């Protein structure tokens, strides 16, 4: 197996605690380089990746011919520009969500991908987790009959105004941060796209959304969600059919928030629970990315899929009005 050599643009805490170790642990992957202008921020990475080359600028890492792919965990408003720069430098790209802040920004990324022949994707790790693969199978095979309604919720409390999630200029807000999960997960499991967003209530603070309650209409089912950065931690998706209910517990931070589980209640199965202990979806994401680069294996989350999620977020923002709306 050819090893894919990775570099990381920026020494974020998330990269140090989750994605860096995942790249290091993944089969067929090696973390070889990091770009940070603050030398001491490299220490957590060097602890698990001895011999790591540390560059003092992002451009220097992109010029490193011993890097095949880059992972980009930069603030949201920098994702598109640095993804395009990495592609121009001949690197494959895995970029944190949301990859863009508007759906039309995906067009330049798709064009650059097609022109370069390189893989570029949003880091939407949950589609690589067996919890979601199984949920998709259960819905497709009619385990709950005809799907009629979906409820989704994702919340956490973060009122720190120094955090980039609370800064409008950095592309902050609850929808950009976690709306991608509540929307993208349901699109992935059902294979359907929203037809309309008839209702969206959005609370804003200093130009960023902090609470969203919304409703959408899909072809075969209705959808309701709550997304918030100002509520106690909670995450769950419930798929409600005419013959049963499928609950996806801990759907977004498996192994951190709680253990990933599926709970199926139906006329056929009174109550069946499937558990997925010890699964690291970040490692699976890196391995799937490598398999796609090396062997052409179709990637579960291509740019076209991620654009569809951003389309839905754009619809919600439009339905809810702006900070003064």
- In 111-260, DSSP assigns E strands to 120-122, 147-157, 194-205, 208-218, 222-228, 230-241, 244-249
Cβ atoms of 189 and 139 closer than 8 Å = yes
Cβ pair 216, 197 in contact under 8 A:
yes
- Tell me how far apart the alpha carbons of residues 264 and 212 are, in angstroms, rounded to a whole number: 28
Q: Which of 85, 97, 136, 217 is catalytic?
A: 97
Q: Which residues of 173-190 are buried (b: 16+ CB within 10 A; e: fewer)?
A: bbbbbbbbbbbbbbbbbb
Reply yes or no on whether 97 is catalytic: yes
Distance, CA of 105 to CA of 157 (rounded, Å): 29
Name the residue with tokens 């570099």.
7
> Which of 129, 62, 169 has its CA nearest to residue 287?
129
Asked if 207 and 322 count as a contact pair (C-beta separation under 8 A), the reply is no
Integer CA distances (angstroms), 220 to 27, 34, 147, 149, 194, in order = 40, 46, 7, 8, 10
Distance (Å) of CA 238 to CA 155, 234, 249: 15, 13, 9
Question: Where do runs of H (alpha helix) occur along the chain?
Answer: 13-14, 20-25, 43-48, 58-62, 79-88, 106-116, 130-140, 174, 180-190, 281-295, 303-320
Interatomic CA distance for residues 79 and 101, integer angstroms:
9
Smallest CA-to-CA distance from 31 within 262, 225, 290 is with 290
Q: Which residues are catalytic?
A: 97
């Amino acid at each position: 197996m050819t090893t894919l050599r990775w570099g990381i643009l920026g020494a974020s805490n998330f990269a140090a605690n989750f994605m860096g170790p995942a790249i290091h642990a993944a089969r067929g992957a090696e973390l070889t380089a990091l770009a940070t202008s603050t030398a001491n921020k490299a220490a957590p990475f060097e602890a698990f990746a001895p011999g790591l080359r540390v560059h003092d600028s992002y451009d220097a890492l992109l010029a490193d011919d011993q890097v095949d792919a880059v992972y980009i965990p930069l603030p949201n408003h920098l994702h598109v520009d640095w993804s395009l720069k990495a592609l121009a430098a001949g690197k494959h790209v895995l970029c944190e969500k949301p990859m863009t802040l508007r759906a039309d920004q995906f067009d330049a990324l798709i064009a650059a991908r097609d022109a370069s022949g390189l893989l570029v994707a949003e880091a939407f790790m949950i589609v690589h987790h067996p919890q979601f693969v199984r949920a998709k199978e259960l819905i497709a095979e009619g385990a709950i009959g005809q799907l009629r309604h979906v409820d989704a919720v994702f919340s956490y409390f973060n009122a720190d105004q120094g955090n980039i999630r609370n800064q409008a200029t950095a592309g902050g807000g609850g929808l950009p941060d976690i709306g991608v999960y509540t929307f993208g997960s349901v699109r992935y499991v059902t294979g359907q796209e929203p037809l309309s967003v008839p209702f969206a209530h959005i609370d804003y603070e200093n130009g960023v959304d902090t609470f969203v309650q919304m409703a959408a209409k899909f072809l075969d089912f209705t959808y309701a969600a709550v997304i918030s950065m100002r509520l106690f931690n909670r995450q769950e998706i419930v798929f409600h059919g005419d013959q049963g209910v499928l609950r996806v517990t801990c759907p977004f931070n498996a192994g951190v928030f709680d253990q990933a589980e599926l709970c199926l209640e139906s006329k056929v199965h009174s109550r069946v629970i499937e558990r997925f202990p010890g699964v690291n979806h970040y490692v699976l994401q890196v391995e799937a990315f490598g398999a796609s680069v090396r062997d052409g294996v179709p990637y579960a989350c291509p740019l076209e899929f991620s654009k569809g999620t951003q389309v839905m977020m754009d619809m919600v923002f439009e339905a809810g009005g702006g900070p003064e709306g």
